[in-house]
């Protein structure tokens, strides 16, 4: 489509508009600036967002700074962007769009309870309603682990994805805070209403950005076969407040080799090797020396989500923006021979996880990548004495 093509002149003028709007001190100034650039704004396309200075790879703005004005600019650019989000054709996009509509419908049902002004009377309904909002995780995780990886290499910047992931994290934290306030009966009316309002503004804003920017890019930049495969990947998580549909039939990749995997300690068929790796009592992920994810084992019960879409993805894009600096520190230390192992342990939903990163080096001590291993050691930590009989 012509409207998806990069237009350097338009990008330059929209950058000027954004800076002018941020610097404007009065309403009259803002109106004047808007009128000057109105035609350019009306021609905005989803792909333009990835070329703008504020959302570019080399922006001098932090993610938190970008988030402060994100909704303002999306609302301004709405007229141009909405032309690309009117009619989706692929089942994957239709379902993602419907999922957002279901989320908004749920929030609108809750709205009548807090709009009544009697938080105490409707405490039970509000608490149950916000607990159901925890299911929004199904959508967030599909974007972070399936959708973002398949768009990253096709666009000039990943910053909009970093911002969206950070907004997902904000939504996760805000709904947990609301639930705790209701469970602890800390029902200061003004405080609760403010927090509910902030949560609504956040979730509706996330949905708007996805509908206006991400979904049109998926349809424009990915083939039907790729969308079919992403749709099938998404079924692992399911959809918020919706039945999980049947998979789409796709042509399976043929095995490239029937050779044995041979080492000095034995030989295995690739089928045997795959089965062994998938039956290990640990999750493993290998990141190569170029910081790209190359393999993960496919266990029935993983501790963290992994999908085939992450293969070839830079490891820094596989983590929330708030923790990516830790991963980068580990990788850099491994590359500089400052350490060989980094270990962490934490408790998630009453499961005690032990997570270890190992520097992988060859016989000449050359760095080849990182192996991440995570294991549920909840039961192991309780073992005492001995067990010698079946």
pLDDT band at residue 4, thresholds of 50, 70 and 90?
A: low
Task: Judge if 308 and 360 occupy the same domain.
Answer: yes
Three-class SS of residue 316? helix
- φ/ψ of 289, rounded to 5, equals -65, -15
Residue 220 shares a structural domain with residue 105: yes
- Across the range 43-57, mean pLDDT stands at 92
Please state, in angstroms and as integers, the Cα–Cα distance from residue 254 to each residue in 69, 83, 181, 209, 277, following that order.
Answer: 48, 40, 54, 38, 20
Q: How far is CA 217 from CA 67, 143, 275, in A?
A: 21, 13, 36
Tokens of 380: 């192991």
3 state DSSP class of 99: helix
Residues 116 and 44 reside in one and the same domain: yes
Domain with residue 314: its CATH number is: 3.30.450.20
Say what the pTM is. 0.85
Q: Give the residue numbers spanning the domain of 362.
A: 282-382
- Report yes or no on 58 lying in a domain: yes
Closest of 181, 299, 328 to residue 236, by C-alpha: 299
Q: Could you tell me if 146 and 36 lie in one domain?
A: yes
Note whether 231 and 331 are same-domain residues.
no
The sign of the dihedral angle between the CA atoms of 340, 310, 308, 132 is positive
Q: Facing residues of 269 across strands?
A: 260
Which CATH number is 67's domain given? 1.20.120.520
- One domain, residues 49 and 115: yes
- What separation in angstroms does the CA of 79 have from each of 16, 39, 84, 85? 18, 11, 10, 11
- Co-location of 36 and 164 in the same domain: yes
Residues 212 and 310 in one domain: no
Note whether 244 and 288 are same-domain residues: no
CB 376 within 8 A of CB 353: yes
Give residue-wise pLDDT tens across range 120-129: 999 999 999 9
Number of domains in the chain: 2
- 249-254's contacts with Cβ under 8 Å and 24+ in sequence apart are 250/225, 251/225
Helix (H) or strand (E) holding 114: helix 91-115
pLDDT at 258: 61
Q: Kindly report each contact of residues 3-6 with a partner whose C-beta sits within 8 Å and lies 24 or more positions away, as own/partner.
A: 3/43, 3/45, 3/83, 3/84, 4/45, 4/46, 4/47, 4/84, 4/220, 6/47, 6/48, 6/51
Mean pLDDT across the chain:
92
pLDDT band at 3 (very low <50, low <70, confident <90, very high): very low
Task: Note whether 153 and 234 are same-domain residues.
Answer: yes
**Which of 232, 252, 272 lies at the terminal end of a domain, its last residue?**
252
Strand partners of residue 239: 242
Residues 32 and 71 in one domain: yes
For residue 352, give both structure tokens. Answer: 């005690």
pLDDT band at 255 (very low <50, low <70, confident <90, very high): low
Q: Is 288 helix (H, G, I), strand (E, B) or coil?
A: strand
User: Which structure tokens are listed for 41?
Assistant: 């704004």
Q: Which residues contact 230 (CB under 8 A, 6 or more apart)?
A: 92, 146, 147, 150, 218, 222, 309
Task: Name the pLDDT band for 1 (thresholds 50, 70, 90).
Answer: very low
Tell me whether residue 277 is in a domain. Answer: no
Q: How many residues comprise the chain?
A: 390
335-370 pLDDT, tens digit each: 999 999 999 999 988 999 999 999 999 999 999 999
Q: How far apart are CA 162 and CA 172, in angstroms?
A: 15
Task: Dump pLDDT digits (tens) for 268-281.
Answer: 999 999 999 999 99
């Amino acid at each position: 489509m012509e409207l998806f093509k990069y237009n350097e002149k338009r990008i330059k003028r929209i950058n000027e508009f954004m800076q002018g709007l941020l610097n404007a001190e009065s309403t009259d100034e803002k109106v004047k600036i808007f009128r000057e650039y109105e035609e350019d704004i009306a021609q905005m396309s989803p792909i333009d967002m990835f070329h703008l200075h504020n959302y570019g790879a080399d922006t001098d703005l932090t993610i938190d700074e970008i988030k402060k004005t994100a909704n303002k600019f999306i609302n301004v650019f709405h007229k141009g962007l909405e032309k690309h989000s009117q009619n989706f054709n692929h089942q994957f996009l239709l379902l993602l769009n419907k999922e957002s509509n279901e989320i908004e419908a749920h929030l609108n049902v809750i709205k009548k309870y807090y709009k009544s002004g009697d938080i105490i009377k409707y405490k039970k309904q509000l608490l149950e309603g916000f607990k159901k909002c925890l299911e929004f995780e199904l959508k967030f995780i599909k974007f972070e682990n399936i959708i973002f990886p398949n768009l990253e290499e096709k666009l000039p910047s990943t910053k909009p994805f970093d911002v969206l992931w950070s907004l997902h994290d904000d939504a996760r934290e805000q709904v947990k805070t609301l639930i705790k306030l209701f469970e602890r009966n800390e029902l200061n009316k003004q405080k609760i209403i403010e927090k509910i309002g902030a949560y609504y503004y956040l979730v509706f804003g996330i949905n708007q950005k996805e509908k206006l920017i991400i979904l049109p890019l998926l349809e424009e930049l990915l083939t039907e076969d790729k969308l079919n495969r992403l749709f099938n990947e998404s079924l692992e998580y399911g959809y918020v407040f919706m039945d999980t549909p049947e998979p789409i039939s796709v042509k399976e990749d043929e095995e490239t080799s029937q050779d044995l995997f041979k080492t000095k300690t034995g030989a295995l068929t690739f089928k045997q090797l795959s089965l062994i790796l998938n039956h290990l009592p640990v999750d493993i992920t290998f990141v190569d020396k170029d910081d790209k994810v190359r393999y993960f084992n496919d266990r029935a019960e993983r501790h963290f989500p992994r999908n085939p879409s992450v293969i070839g993805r830079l490891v820094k894009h596989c983590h929330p923006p708030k923790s990516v600096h830790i991963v980068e520190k580990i990788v850099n230390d491994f590359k500089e021979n400052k350490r060989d192992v980094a270990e962490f342990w934490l408790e998630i939903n009453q499961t005690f996880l032990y997570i270890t990163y190992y520097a992988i080096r060859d016989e000449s001590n050359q760095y080849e990548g990182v192996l991440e291993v995570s294991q549920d050691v909840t039961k192991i930590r309780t073992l005492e004495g001995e067990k010698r009989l079946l």
